[in-house]
Amino acid sequence: MRDRLVTRDAFGLYLPDADLHLDARRAPGTVFVSHAHGDHCSDAARILCTPETAALHAARRGDREAVTLPFGAPARVGDASVTLTPAGHALGSAMLVAESARGRAAYTGDYKLRGNPFSPPVEIPRVDALVMECTFGEPRYVFPPEEELVARLLAFVDETRRAGATPVVLAYALGKGQEALWHLTRAGYDVVLHGAIANLTALHERLGHAFPGPGTWGRYEKGKVGDRVLLTTPQTRKTAMVQKLPAKRVCYLTGWALHPGAWNIYKDCDLVLPLSDHADYAELVRTATESGASKVYTVHGPATFAERLRAMGIDAEHLMEHPNEAEPEPDEGPAPATDQLGFTF
C-alpha cells in the first residue's frame, strides 16, 4: 500500500500514526473494534471502541482491557488524534477517523447511511485516505426505503395472524434482531425472542436503549409462543422451535433478498425482505465520492466495486481479506451461490 496513512502488516490493516490495528482478530498492542458482531470481535488484550461496543464485546468474549471513546470526543492515540463517529450498523458501531501530520484517514467498518433506532445519524468523513466495507458493492443492491420494508414486514405479520398462523421473523442476534424488535413492538405486537436475541436485547435496555410500546417482548420458552410473533435466528429455522409450530409463515430479513436466485436459495421462507444493516450500492458510491479521499481501499465485498469506482475517476484498490482480519457477517458476507439450497450463517 503506497501511502503511510494506512498500511498492512501480518495482523491486517494498520494505522501507523495511531499505532492501531483495525478489526483484527488478534494483534499486539491495541485493536480498534468497530462493533460487536462476533466476526469483528477481537482476542487482542487491549481494544479501543465505543462504550456500548465494549459492553457488548464483554458479553460475547469476556472482559478485557477496553479504551472507550464516546462519539465525537477526540483522543490522542499514538501520534494521531482519533475520533469515533456513528456507523449506523448496530448499537455502538463506529467509524474511526485518525488525523496526524500526514493527513486524515478513516475506516468505516460495517456501516449504513440509512437510519437505525440505535445509532445517531451517520456523516461521511472527509479524509485523504478511506478504508470502506463494500459488502453490497454491485449495482443490483439498491434497497427500497426502510419505511417501505418495515410496512411490508408488518403486513406480513398481519396477514399471517389473520390466517391463524404464527409469524416467524429471522434475524441475527445482534443488530438486526433488535432493529426488527423495535419496529414490531412500536407497531403494538407482542414478540417472543430466541435466547441469544433476548440476552442482547436485555443488554440494550441496560445500556439505556429501551424498546417502544405498546408491544412487549419476552424470552422463548419451549412450546409457548401463543399468538405472539416469534423472532429467532436464521440458524434455527429448521429446528423444532420453528418446525413444530402447528401453523407458521416465515420471513427472512437479509440484504441478499436482492441476490439473483434468492427465491430458490431461500425457498423454505414465505417472504425474504432486503432489510439490511449494511450500506447499499448507492450509499457506497456516495461515501467514496463525498469523502473526498485521494485514495480509497475497499474491503469485505466484491473486488469489482473498486473497479467501478476507478471507472468513475476515483483512485480505488480492493484489499483481499487477511487471515487475522474480520470475516464477513454471518448472513451478510459474500453473496451465496445461486444454486445453493441452504443458507449462509
Q: How high is the pLDDT of residue 39? A: 87
Nearest to 1 by CA among 19, 79, 9: 9
In angstroms, the CA 261 to CA 189 distance is 32
Q: What share of the chain is helix, strand, coil (3-state, %, to 5)?
A: 25, 25, 50
Read off the DSSP letter of residue 120: P
Nearest to 259 by CA among 148, 140, 342, 139: 140
Q: How high is the pLDDT of residue 223? A: 87
Cell of 296: 480509497
From the candidate CATH numbers 2.60.40.4070, 1.20.1250.20, 3.60.15.10, 3.40.50.300, the one assigned to the domain spanning 7-140+277-318? 3.60.15.10
Q: How high is the pLDDT of residue 340? A: 33
Classify residue 2 as exposed, middle or buried by CB count within 10 Å of its CB (0-12, 13-18, 19+). exposed
Helix locations, the chain, DSSP H:
51-61, 146-162, 176-186, 195-206, 240-243, 262-265, 281-290, 303-311
Q: How high is the pLDDT of residue 322? A: 64
CA dihedral 333, 335, 340, 342 (to 10 degrees): 30
Beta-carbon count within 10 A of 1 CB: 15
In angstroms, the CA 142 to CA 137 distance is 10
Q: Are 129 and 295 in contact (CB under 8 A)?
A: yes
Q: Are 289 and 314 in contact (CB under 8 A)?
A: yes
Alpha carbon 27 to its chain centroid, in Å, reads 22
Q: How high is the pLDDT of residue 339? A: 34
This model's pTM is above 0.85: yes
Nearest to 220 by CA among 207, 209, 238, 233: 233
Q: How high is the pLDDT of residue 2? A: 46
pLDDT by 10s per residue, the chain, length 345: 445 799 999 999 999 999 999 999 999 999 999 999 988 999 999 999 999 999 999 999 888 899 999 999 999 999 999 999 999 999 999 999 999 999 999 999 999 999 999 999 999 999 999 999 999 999 999 999 999 999 999 999 999 999 999 999 999 999 999 999 999 999 999 999 999 999 999 999 999 999 998 999 999 999 899 999 999 999 999 999 999 999 999 999 999 999 988 878 888 899 999 999 999 999 999 999 999 999 999 999 999 999 999 999 999 999 987 666 655 555 565 566 543 322 222
Nearest to 14 by CA among 126, 129, 170: 129
Alpha carbon 215 to its chain centroid, in Å, reads 25
C-alpha dist (Å) from residue 91 to 191, 212, 277, 330: 20, 16, 11, 17
Q: Are 137 and 308 in contact (CB under 8 A)?
A: yes
In angstroms, the CA 226 to CA 238 distance is 19
Domain limits of the chain? 7-140+277-318, 146-273
Q: Are 218 and 193 in contact (CB under 8 A)?
A: yes
Beta-carbon count within 10 A of 102 CB: 16
Prior bond to 214 cis, omega within 30?
yes
Q: How high is the pLDDT of residue 321? A: 72
- Please name the fold of domain 146-273: Rossmann fold (3.40.50)
Amino acid identity for residue 199 in this structure: N
